[in-house]
Amino acid sequence: MISHLRLNTTKTLSEQITLQVDDKGYEFVIINHSKFDAAFTLHGAHLIHFQAKNQAPLIYLSKAALFDDKKAIRGGVPVCWPWFGNTEESLSKKLPAHGFARISKWEMSIVSETPEGIDLAFTLSANEATKAIWDHDFTLTLKASLSDHVDLSLITENTGNDSFSYGGALHSYLCVADITQCSIEGLAATYTDSLDSGKQKTAEAVLTVNGPIDTIYAVNNGDVVVNDLQNKRKITVNNTGNDSVVVWNPWISGSIAFADLPDDGYQTMMCIESAITSKQGVLVEAGQIHTLKTVII
Ligand code: TA6
């Protein structure tokens, strides 16, 4: 939900899309379509809200999320790129966790608007600031296709003369009524437990969450289904281009530790992420592209 945000319209982009700002000039793209409402920020090309008409919100946004050009937004779908979490290099150079894309200013264009839905394209190209952190030429495009569901494609184009490898994630925070009343099916049979020294473990066929969880599942074939019991719905997540699926809930301890997450925030969120977490990442040759995708229905 974004009704708590105090925004003012600065530009009407179309009948259904407006550019709005908060009292600090932080820019939001607000979409009111006949089939759904949605919102992005230009900072990070960050989907912060999606709610189909007569449905519960699909995407969770922390009520304590900070809208600050130097920080990532807690909730929504953070675009984590060109690395996932912290790497040896990012730690040694004191670089931002999950890369710089989610804390960079992107450009946006409206690709199409129809009675069925809206397609937007956000772009981030290599610049002096990015090359000071990660010395490669690239164009990053987030294609967002919104209708009765969310379809996000993160397209990495290597516009340089040398190949590079990247990692990252479409770090989706799903909105659920009560995490203790949810079950998750369709995950792979093995995972790495980031909360237990990265041990490799065998998964249950059906995952229930009753405490902090931070796990990297092997890539699965097909859908991951979150049975959001109290909302009487199933949320289906289909990922492609990923090498893993990250499943995360900070639980009570993590919620209390994060200033930008209410102490009870863990109760109504569940991260199911289309991720590239392998040490080697995905190799993108000069002039080539790679697409990381997630479809949330
Ligand atoms: O996706 C799981 C994770 O890597 C967790 O370890 C936790 O750090 C989470 O991402 C949130 O990271 P953030 O940098 O957004 O606080």
Write down the pLDDT at residue 4.
86
Cα 97–265–46 angle (5° rounding)? Answer: 45
Give 13 Cα–ligand 1 centroid separation in angstroms.
34
**Rounded to the nearest whole angstrom, what is the distance from the C-alpha of residue 10 to the centroid of ligand 1?**
33
Ligand 1 atom showing the smallest separation from residue 271 Cα: 1
Output the CA 85–ligand 1 centroid distance in Å: 6
Residue nearest to atom 4 of ligand 1 (CA): 85
The per-residue pLDDT string of the chain (297 residues; one tens digit each, 9 = 90 and over) reads 788 899 999 999 999 999 999 999 999 999 999 999 999 999 999 999 999 999 999 999 999 999 999 999 999 999 999 999 999 999 999 999 999 999 999 999 999 999 999 999 999 999 999 999 999 999 999 999 999 999 999 999 999 999 999 999 999 999 999 999 999 999 999 999 999 999 999 999 999 999 999 999 999 989 999 999 999 999 999 999 999 999 999 999 999 999 999 999 999 999 999 999 999 999 999 999 999 999 999
38-60 exposure pattern, b = at least 16 Cβ within 10 A, e = fewer: bbbbbbbbbbbbbbbeeebbbbb
Whole-number pLDDT of residue 265: 98
Q: What per-residue confidence (pLDDT) applies to 3?
A: 84
Ligand 1 is surrounded, with C-beta below 6 A, by 72, 85, 97-98, 171, 194, 214, 246, 248, 271, 273
Distance 21 CA to ligand 1 centre (A): 27
Residue nearest to atom 8 of ligand 1 (CA): 85
CA 126 – ligand 1 centroid, Å: 24
In this structure, the residue with its CA closest to atom 10 of ligand 1 is 85
CA of 246 from ligand 1 middle (Å) equals 10
pLDDT of residue 2: 85
258 CA closest ligand 1 atom index: 16
Is the distance from CB of 57 to CB of 36 less than 8 angstroms?
no
DSSP reduced 3-state for 133: helix
Separation of alpha carbons 226 and 36, rounded Å: 21
H or E stretch covering 255: helix 251-257
Q: Both tokens of residue 240?
A: 């492609």
Give the atom of ligand 1 at the shortest distance from the alpha carbon of 98: 14
Residues 6 or more apart whose Cβ sits within 8 Å of residue 136 = 82, 126, 158, 160, 162, 164
Entry pTM: 0.98
The number of C-alpha atoms within 13 Å of 177 and in the hemisphere containing its C-beta is 14
**Cα gap 276→274, rounded to integer Å:** 7
